[in-house]
Amino acid sequence: MPGISTPISQNASCLHADILSDIFLLCVPPEGGTFLLKESPWKLGQVCRHWRYIVLNTPLLWDRLKINTRDGRNISRACGILVECLRRAADNKLQLSITADVAYEYYDCQPLYDLVLDRCEDWESLKLVIFGQVPPIIPPPGAKLSSLRRFEIRPQLLGVLRASGTDTGILKSLMQTVQRAPSVEYACFDGTSLIDRHMLSGAIPGTAWVNLRTLELHTYEGADLISVLSNCSSRLERLILAELNVAIPVDGDVVEFPVLKTLKLKRFAPYWLRRLSLPRLEHLVLTYLDIQRDTSPLFDMVQRQGFSIRSVSFIDIVFMDVTVERFLRLTPHATTLTVTGTVFPYIFDRIALDKNILPHLTTLVVRPSTWMDNRIISPPLATILRVVVSRLDTLKVVKVEALLRPCETEVVEQIRSLHRHGILVEVKVLPVKDGEYLEVPEIILLMSGAMIFTPLFGSKPTIRNPEEASLLYFSFLVTHLRSPHPDVSSAWIFTRQIGRRGSLFSIYRKGDFK
């Protein structure tokens, strides 16, 4: 906490214990600072006697435990600190995170593991982040893990879990206990090839994962993913799939998820999505959708499930305005639209002009990309304003983040002023240092994009979204020539759009525009 060692006012030091305890909870890192004596919650207790009393009597400050294999360098000191944390946590449920770090020296952390294993019935969440050997976290015989609700295992290096038979045995012993736990609602397997269908179907029929509601699979390599999904499909409410490295036949039995409401796909759109039936799907989140990804499996899925979808999110999309429009036309009952990434005026123009697109829109959220190095272009504020004005009869919430140019200050104020129509409006201006803008005339971008589609390159000039095409010229020229994409080929004549606007695009950093 900055300034924690500076003198504090008498009023601050004497705040009521209930208020201070809530403030202190906000100061603790999400996974705890168990062995960081110079950080909260340890540091908070050194300010004054009043604060120390509150810290010692607030168990919630101490129930988030984080153990790293490097903590074993001074095992006697680490054990003393962990014992004190567990004492101060009292009877609270524990949020336990264990990181098996890569180290040149081996540190024996078994005494630390034994301390937390003694409290395994109080574990509410268990997260294993594995860079090296699998930590020997094996609950004692007869352990039920009755409080466990979340289980995550995230190997960070490919092949880590294949390293030795010992690692495999540890993991399977842990899994056999976890899958029996009666309260596990969330399971995440990231980069794991050992979690096969038997792990999720249950070596103990009828008792495995009985309360599982959310399943998250990242870079999963299991051989029979469809079988894994089938065995837990009847209970799942949220399914998150990312970059799965599994070859699955397109044809085969359909897997039905009768209660699934949320589907998140990250860099992932396999053809076997056609084998999933999602009759109650309400929230669809598509992350890292770009021009190089085949979206036809997604369209096939949305055509079947679109009428049930109420919320659509496109996260970190790149040059996909027309694709977004096609998706939205298939989800007529959606009330919430979230768009982050590199977006152009086209999609917002279409929403503003055509009320058949999202006719029941109540919530609109628009932000630049969440990638730190990919905030190339700020959301088009003027066209977002037109959307809001055109949907005053339905919109209730509008949230926008933008990189602000001086000429757009008035537009921001116009958007904010719409709160008088009963809309909750939040406009956040993101800080940009001087000199980080590169102003590029739009007409130059449009003409550059046109070069792709002239007869010189063997294609007809039929561009529906020239704003996208202009940047595609710089980023995806080779890709486009090899495989034309619907986002850069359509029914409108390109020249219809040339010179339509005299505005400038704001490029976030000169280094991003090549």
The predicted-structure confidence for 348-371, as pLDDT tens digits, reads as follows 988 999 999 999 999 999 988 765
State the residue range of the domain holding 474: 438-512
Would you say residue 328 lies in a domain? no
Would you say residue 73 lies in a domain? no
Better-scored residue on pLDDT, 513 or 41: 41
Most confident of 19-33, 247-261, 318-332, 349-363: 349-363
pLDDT of residue 477: 37
Is 347 a residue whose pLDDT tops 90? no
pLDDT of residue 443: 36
Q: Residues of the chain with pLDDT > 70: what percent?
A: 67
Q: What is the mean pLDDT of residues 114-130?
A: 91
pLDDT of residue 418: 93
Residue in 305, 306, 268, 271 with CA at minimum distance from that of residue 287: 268
Is 514 a residue whose pLDDT tops 50? no
Would you say residue 450 lies in a domain? yes
Would you say residue 463 lies in a domain? yes
Q: How far apart are the first and last CA of the chain?
A: 41
Residue in 317, 357, 354 with CA at minimum distance from that of residue 338: 317
Residue in 180, 241, 242 with CA at minimum distance from that of residue 211: 180
Mean pLDDT estimate for the chain: 74
Is 474 a residue whose pLDDT tops 90? no
Grouping H, G, I as helix, E, B as strand and the rest as coil, residue 205 is coil
Is 433 a residue whose pLDDT tops 70? no
Would you say residue 482 lies in a domain? yes
- CA torsion through residues 218, 261, 31, 69, sign: negative
pLDDT in tens, 166-220: 566 777 788 888 888 889 999 988 766 545 444 554 444 446 778 899 999 887 6
| Dist CA 177 CA 396 (whole Å) | 47
Cα–Cα distance list, 194 to 171, 187, 191, 222, 286 (Å): 8, 14, 9, 7, 27
- CA torsion through residues 33, 37, 41, 43, sign: negative
pLDDT of residue 145: 92
Is 509 a residue whose pLDDT tops 70? no
Better-scored residue on pLDDT, 140 or 398: 398
pLDDT in tens, 37-46: 767 778 777 7
Q: What is the mean pLDDT of residues 485-503?
A: 34
Lowest mean pLDDT among 84-98, 178-192, 234-248, 443-457: 443-457
Can you tell me which residue has the tokens 């012993």? 173
In 3-state terms, the chain is what percent helix, strand and coil (to 5)? 40, 20, 45
Would you say residue 406 lies in a domain? no
pLDDT of residue 102: 67
Contact 284, 311 (CB under 8 A): yes
Is 395 a residue whose pLDDT tops 80? yes
Is 127 a residue whose pLDDT tops 80? yes
pLDDT of residue 470: 45
Would you say residue 501 lies in a domain? yes
Is 226 a residue whose pLDDT tops 90? no
Q: What is the mean pLDDT of residues 100-127?
A: 85
Number of domains in the chain: 1
- Which of the four pLDDT bands, split at 50, 70 and 90, describes residue 264? very high
- CA torsion through residues 403, 407, 409, 412, sign: negative
Is 313 a residue whose pLDDT tops 80? yes
Would you say residue 1 lies in a domain? no
pLDDT of residue 296: 80
pLDDT of residue 502: 33
| Dist CA 112 CA 114 (whole Å) | 5
pTM: 0.77
Q: What is the mean pLDDT of residues 430-458?
A: 44
Is 320 a residue whose pLDDT tops 80? no
